[in-house]
Chains A and B, each alone.
Chain A
Amino acid sequence: MVIQKEKKSCGQVVEEWKEFVWNPRTHQFMGRTGTSWAFILLFYLVFYGFLTAMFTLTMWVMLQTVSDHTPKYQDRLATPGLMIRPKTENLDVIVNVSDAESWDQHVQKLNKFLEPYNDSIQAQKNDVCRPGRYYEQPDNGVLNYPKRACQFNRTQLGDCSGIGDPTHYGYSTGQPCVFIKMNRVINFYAGANQSMNVTCVGKRDEDAENLGNFVMFPANGSIDLMYFPYYGKKFHVSAVGGPVRWLPPGEQGPGEEAECQGPGPLLSSSGPGELHAAPGGREVPERDPQCGGERRMPYQCRQHRHGR
């Protein structure tokens, strides 16, 4: 016969639970006596204490292998990426000329972004370097000798410097400036000793038509070699570094996209590039190990502008 399933009444269930939580006969709480619970607590205290110690120890050992100043490996950063300012949610810079609020936030951001590049601050913090050459700062026997960045003066940005600019970087006139910056990578010698340019084109043909010509500051979107290499946050006294370029206004149309190429040849020191991401938020996986010094790495950025 089937073993009959004992149907328990609700009261019985409650009663059983009560007894499970506290059993007055055996003095068991949740099925264990006080001593047993004490043992358990002690055991886990010791066990997890030991485990934490072990973890701490191994982490400490591991951190001994890591230098404070240069990362152990940089294989993922063979090619630095590009980024735009103003930084927006999805890299679309939306501007409605007639609606000041639409671009005011961008202007605020740019003001903040460009503040450290004020000539006065630059002169105070950064070195004047010889253009056209890498600004190498060897330790010369002094360990971790502080390094300085080269000056990049805001005034170099010309019409987009925003200094005394009633057009608010062109946003109020529908010719907005977009700044392109290159990611910092430690000990990266960009350009292989040749001058570099950032070039921008419309993503699609019709975009190119609508955008018209770009005006670049400094001229031709050139990046000077003196801004390289970067020695890392701890060495570089000045946190601000890296070149800033602006993308000048073209003909405006609804929703044009522009694509910018980073300076090439980029690969001078760090071996074959493997992948590149771009400010457009589009991943451009380039895993061609063949790509050597001569190849121009495509970057894309997108500028999105809305109606007049």
Chain B
Amino acid sequence: MFEQFRRVANFYFLIIFLVQLIIDTPTSPITSGMPLCFVITVTAIKQVEVDSIHATIECEQPQPDLYKFVGRINVYMDNEPVARPLGSENLLLRGATLKNTEYIYAVAIYTGMETKMALNYQTKTQKRSAVEKSMNAYLVVYLCILISKALINTVLKYAWQADPNRDEPWYNDRTEPERQRHIVIRAFTDFLAFMVLFNYIIPVSMYVTVEMQKFLGSYFIMWDDEMFDEEMGERAVVNTSDLNEELGQVEYVFTDKTGTLTENNMEFIECCVDGHVYVPDIICNGQVMPGATSMDMIDTSPGPGAREHEELFFRALCLCHTVQVKEEETVDGIKHGIHQGKSTSFYISSSPDEVALVEGMKRLGFTYLRLKDSHMEILNREDEIERFQLLEVLTFDSVRRRMSVIVRSSTGELYLFCKGADSAIFPRVVSGKVEQIKARVEHNAVEGLRTLCVAYRPLSPAQYQEVCHLLNGAKLALQDRDKRLAEAYDVIEKDLILLGATAVEDRLQEKAADTIESLHKAGMKVWVLTGDKMETAAATCYASKLFRRNTQILELTTKRTEEQSLHDVLFDLSRTVLRQIGGMTRDSFSGLSGDCTDYGLIIDGATLSAVMRPAQEDSNSGNYKEIFLEICRNCSAVLCCRMAPLQKAQIVKLIKASKEHPITLAIGDGANDVSMILEAHVGIGIMGKEGRQAVRNSDYAIPKFKHLKKMLLVHGHYYYIRISELVQYFFYKNVCFIFPQFLYQFFCGFSQQPLYDTAYLTLYNISFTSLPILLYSLIEQHIHMDILRKDPSLYRDIAKNSLLRWPIFIYWTVLGVYDAVVMFFGVYFLFDNTTFTSNGQMFGNWTFGTLVFTVLVFTVTFKLALDTHYWTWINHFVIWGSLVFFLVFSLLWGGIIWPFLNYQRMYYVFMQMLSSGPAWLSIILLIAASLLPDVLKKVQMYAGFGYVPTLMDNADKLYKGQLSEFTPMASLHAPSKAGRHRRGSGNQRNAPNPRRSAPFHKKLMFTRWRRTPDYRTFAPLLAFADGSRHSKQGRAYGGTGPGTSV
């Protein structure tokens, strides 16, 4: 839809330019066509000759995924080709550095536009904000207005000219060729001429200004010192400036758990082998015996089998990972380092869990030393070095949720060690103490710990040969390599023997709970999407205040669906939710919104895919999505656990497509969040420990989750206010500008006579009125930053694109038309058949236009000044400066006979006008008359301006002076809506939680406000706009006062 509008806009500009015969092409829309080139799939094979080693490389066609590469190298040894697989680990991307070796052989496979960087640059899909969508809707409206204006004038012209005397008065007859032209052609020419005359009503410069505003405005996000993280030395990054205002519109927040809500700073807590729990001592002195801190579950006399399992378990954890050891000569990393002689080394891995596990093993006595010549070396408790030959690594992926290694011990035995999520391991286990370990895993998960299970499988040489064969076949495949590898892994990782489980703690990020609470108060629904176990995730959710103690948890999990059919569960839940909502409305009407429960939903990946499954032939399954959405809508928090990355994106997509089309935001730090970051309206990356893939694919990136609060509540709010004013103001000022010209046609025989001089027509949008609004849209702050942050409910005021609704748009347009009528007819009556100089001389049509134009420039500039709540010296400079510029320009333009002009119609017009007293008086009068309705509206919007000082007094005491900069906008919104919400939601949420006392004060304050609705009858327009909002929210928050029934 949007692209269509975009093209309409482009097309329109093109036509206008063509009609004006100015050969100047606007920006072309071909950019959207470019990605098509890459849609064509990877089929053809490219051949590259490698010179120094005689080999050929076969690889896939260039594709944008940075982390995918499939290829094969055929090395010719004695003319005998030996095929080796090439994967993404063989591909060096830009910025790679060479380590541990002097040189490598390398071949450039993709160059120029085929590089992954170039492909990614172009294929990134453009996201469009809701504001831009409204803008385009408005544009279409204005286009219709323009066309109808031109049509009306054309029709009227010919109706008017039906009288032959008017058609061609002798003083104004046509030339011969004109007379011979067909009437249709003449009418069409006239239509086009009117179009050109009125085309300024479409604010071409708006697009330029909006782009500039977004680009320059995004710097304030990057510059924000409060979003700078000292620890990491990172500041916020803006990848797209297109979505600044969308940050103020977010309704759903989808957040990853690990690394986003939590630190992703793992600490090994315990492990459990066959039911024996081992807790490493914090003070690690080389050797710590498990018995010292052993738990009650430990069998005092472990049998020989158990002993063997224990050894195997520790070795498995030391071997089954992809951790690298980095050795440093300095004595820096004491914390991470292992002391081995002089040199200190520490572990690096893409997964913090693995580092935690390997470090945990070290504390339990088994130290992983290094990988040398494909042998892994382990220092065991007896200070002996054990060497295992690493044969295969079955790498981790988030779908399988496990990884394996195949090693050969020094004694020649072959083992497959596998570690992974419990759900990925248990189904593949054939023996081991499954029950005890499962119990322990669940216990740990409830504590909020991340659990992993470890299992092994001894392999016979014959089995190993088979495994090798399978793997090589898959790895060498050029097509469907991933799929074939997955199949191979599936075959290999089976018949496992369970060894034990580990538990790793991931602490919550600083202020995560506070941030989530603020988001909730701001009316956003927060969903946590995680791959973790339900219990782990739920514990985190409680810790981060996503779920509160009074939150009623609804479960939609495999456990439940095993008992009942999915159908029944869904209907049960929806009934529970809806009943409560109905009850709540009644409650709140009676004024006692006492024990309103808010709901939290927990759903797991398997159930979700069942819900999402497309409709089958059996009865109601098609409705599952709807019911599910209905339940979700009524839950303030949703936790989705056991999610695959693609499912995260699916969820986002599902919500995006639901009937309210809410604005979604996805935030995450890892590669598994990329799909959801790309899918959501706004994607935010956290600069975490799992690489920068999320950051690279995001629209904005922030160092920590807590920065989201300022990002949304302050920056988002500001940008939304700013850009909506920008858009509305632009349309307004162009109506004011062009409508008098339209009216003038009625008095000049529909002859397309312009009212204003060409210089004024051209410069109006470019220089006389452009800078003040641009500056406004960059630095306006209608409410002080600290208040926005302290009172998240202010965010609700701008929810649902509330400042760009049709009633408000119509208000602005009507105001524009009114101003235009005042300006035009004011001057018209002033000119009515009389002179207004004291020397009796008459003024002509250019004086008429100049007078209208002068009033116009002053009026629109003052209108903006009235809307400005934050006057810095720059505002003063730009607003008054642009008026002064207009005056100086006009004096110059009319003061000199410009040699390059072929007409001198403006010569001395402006000065002559200023020499007349009534002209001055009428300028003042018309400006005042134009601004009067808007001033009155503002006064009414303060709805009982008498309250402003009252509020200020209270607020000063409450906020210890911080509210002294409380601006009227805030006070306007706060009582009428936010106050009401707060009363409702404040009671629900805060009453059982007496620790938060601040809202209580505010409640007191706002009960005083509830009388204000009586005023609203004075402002029907505004009340109308508000009313629509109220009715929308009425269901959730009820009609708490008589005022809502406007």
Real binding pair: no
Which of B's residues lie within 8 Å of A, judged by CB? Answer: none
